Amino acid sequence: MSERLGSLLVPCFILLVSVYASLYVGQLPPLWFSILPLLPLIFAGVAILLAWHFNKGRVLILVLLLLIPKLYGDSNQDASLTAYLVVSCFCIALLGFVPERGFFNRFAVNRILFVMMLVSWCYAIERSWVSFAFLDSAFLNTSVSWSAILLWCVLLISTVAIGAAWWLSGDAFRASGLISIVSLLIINQFASSDTQFDALLSAQFLLWIWFLLMESHRMAYLDDMTKLPGRRALNEQLVGLSKRYAIAMVDVDHFKKFNDTYGHDMGDKVLKSVAAQLKHFSNPGRAFRFGGEEFTIVFRGKGLADVEETLELVRESIEHALVEVFDPKKKQDIDVNVTASLGVAFAALGESPESVLKRADEALYQSKKKGRNRVSKSPTPKNI
């Protein structure tokens, strides 16, 4: 729950600040006031450069979608403005359901062509090159036309779809996409001047710049498969440790044999399962992917008295967790479980984190030597 809401925290903050700032944008100094119309284009350019640098094709397309209101903002036809708005929101929601395929390749080009097709369709309707007379008729004898009802239905479905997808996954891209849709609705309905429009739109490009920077941080520090912090994050954690801490090493038993029997893709499923158990049951410790089938848990400060009990809980949870894998011999899916060996070392006064990590690894070796699927504690060194 906390991670899910956390993914929406900064996007919501950027939206609220932009709405508040847009109300007072008229008080800007003349120089800033003259630069404001260029800010959306400047921030869009920065976002595109970052998307290219980090090979994020979805963000490239999304930035282009956010530029649509800027390109067609001078239109006097409310219906066409609504159509362009719906195209932007629909495609933003759609991007939340397609995988990342990189920046300039056939996938990105095909998606850009799809967006251009929708925009061209809106333009053709606006210019009366294409006409559907029945859509202009009143909806159930009201003042609202069928076309307006259709557009708002698509808009509602897009918003609900990406909102539900974000709620189920907690994905940062979907969270930012949801806020972008809400922001476009606010721009369309409440922006009463060009300056307010430019301020709100600039904030959206800032949102996606923030997303790209956070994504680069995630790529550097988070293991993509297990979703645990990686070796680099562990090294930084070790540097900032206080005097009282403990380090535990966790290794999946007979993992090579498992890979040889079921295949490396099934081995990845096991690692994901083990990572999930470490993440849920290692509190108040923090779990890291050390490398291969090895993991590390760092316990800091308070709670050290319960470390051994916590590690027993971790060991049991790994042992009892069932993983569905495909058995090539039986040609069917079966449920299997694995065990893990653990070693823990408590830091002595004046001992370096590297030394504690080494002792934890030696304790892990003792667990392996004694028969695996157990927790071993490293003795406290007498001389540091």
For 333-345, how does the pLDDT look when each residue is reduced to its tens digit (9 = 90+)?
A: 888 889 999 999 9
What is the radius of gyration, based on Cα positions, of the chain?
A: 27
Whose tokens are 């400060």? That residue is 301
User: Does position 332 have pLDDT exceeding 90, yes or no?
Assistant: no
Q: How far apart are CA 371 and CA 358, in angstroms?
A: 21
Mean per-residue pLDDT of the chain: 85
Give the model's pLDDT for residue 294. Answer: 94
- For residue range 189-229, what is the model confidence (pLDDT) as tens digits? 887 788 888 889 999 999 999 999 998 888 888 888 888 99
Which of 221, 252, 284 delimits the end of a domain?
221
User: Does position 134 have pLDDT exceeding 70, yes or no?
Assistant: no
Nearest to 343 by CA among 250, 266, 265: 250
- pLDDT, mean of residues 26-40: 82
Q: Where are the alpha helices (DSSP H) in 227-352?
A: 231-239, 255-262, 264-281, 307-320
Three-class secondary structure assignment of 119-169:
HHHHHHHHCCCCCCHHHHCECCCCCCEHHHHHHHHHHHHHHHHHHHHHHHH
If one counts the domains in the chain, the total is: 2
Say whether both 285 and 152 belong to one domain. Answer: no
Q: Tell whether 384 is covered by a domain.
A: no
Give the model's pLDDT for residue 35. Answer: 84
Q: Could you tell me the pLDDT band of residue 146, with boundaries at 50, 70 and 90? A: confident
Q: Are 300 and 242 in contact (CB under 8 A)?
A: yes
Q: Could you tell me the pLDDT band of residue 75, with boundaries at 50, 70 and 90? A: very low
Q: Are 245 and 79 in contact (CB under 8 A)?
A: no
Say whether both 139 and 287 belong to one domain. Answer: no
Say whether both 66 and 207 belong to one domain. Answer: yes
Whose tokens are 């998606």? That residue is 111
Say whether both 205 and 267 belong to one domain. Answer: no
Three-state secondary-structure class, residue 117: helix
Say whether both 310 and 335 belong to one domain. Answer: yes
Which of 221, 252, 283 delimits the end of a domain?
221
Say whether both 175 and 254 belong to one domain. Answer: no
Give the model's pLDDT for residue 206. Answer: 94
Say whether both 119 and 14 belong to one domain. Answer: yes
Domain enclosing residue 275, as ranges: 231-377
Q: Between 143 and 316, where is the model more confident?
A: 316
With 0.85 as the threshold, say if the pTM is over it.
no
Q: Are 314 and 342 in contact (CB under 8 A)?
A: yes
Say whether both 287 and 363 belong to one domain. Answer: yes
